Amino acid sequence: MGELDGRTALVTGASRGIGRAVALRLAAEGALVAVHYGGNEAAAAATVGRIVEAGGRAFTVRALFGGSGAVDRLFEGLGAGLKEHRADGLDILVNNAGIHSATSIGQLTEEEFTRVLAINVSTPVFVVQRALPLLRDGGRIVNMGSAATRIANPQQIGYTVSKAALAALGPSLANELGQRGITVNTVEPGVVLTDMIGAYADVPEAVAALESITALGRMGLPEDVADVVGFLAGPRGRWITGQTIDVSGGTYLGPPTAG
């Protein structure tokens, strides 16, 4: 028996990276997982395949965020998938989908900034809005923030602003939805070994530099973050709400100490 037997979960951006690890984690605990993806159908199908091979249940839902009608399409697909699996309602929502922006203030365009805010802030807001009629009392909402919000990186202006806004959303939602027993928390990963790191993962000097800024001395893995999301989504996370939880391995705590 898993902690999430009989529960349903929607994980956005679940075809790869942290989202995939979260989907696998929730499914391993017994949840029926809706694996959202934007464009990479094969990767999303691979996520579902891994879940099914392990004895779990999952289905894909496509919606390309950032455009008109994307949230509507997400919930149309979710409804169809739940019906196919003879399920209804939603217990867990993980707003993981997002895009990165590595641009300084001098180079940032209005178009890029608007797109980052649309996908990283507006989309989660309206996904929550649409999910509320489906979300059962006692449900869980987990938003994926970033430790970048407390690091002064001039090359991440748009991204940092978007993730700070998402973190600010959490307490307000938690206060409003607490009467229904719904918890809302934000998880903030640091440097995680996903394809967002890109070519840096193949450069030893870059890897060493990234590892040196964490107290635990390594880059995070998607599973490190997924385990925290799984805890918050399960019964043991019932008394935690309105919180921003750093899951960065101690990024930028200070200069390393001699051991």
Q: Which residue has the tokens 């895009």?
A: 99
Please provide the distance, in angstroms rounded to a whole number, between the alpha carbons at the two ends of the chain.
43
- The DSSP symbol for 212 reads H
| 140, containing H or E segment | strand 135-144
| The token pair that represents 160 in the structure block | 């940092």
Length of the chain: 259
- The DSSP symbol for 220 reads B
| 257, containing H or E segment | none
252 catalytically annotated: no
Q: What is the spatial distance between Cα 205 and Cα 75, in angstroms, rounded to a whole number? A: 44
Non-local CB neighbours of 87 within 8 Å, separated by 6+ positions: 8, 32
- The DSSP symbol for 118 reads I
Which residue among 37, 159, 200, 252 is the active-site one?
A: 159
Among 220, 239, 236, 245, residue whose Cα is nearest residue 21? 220
- Give Dmax (Cα) for the chain: 58
What residues are labeled active site? 159
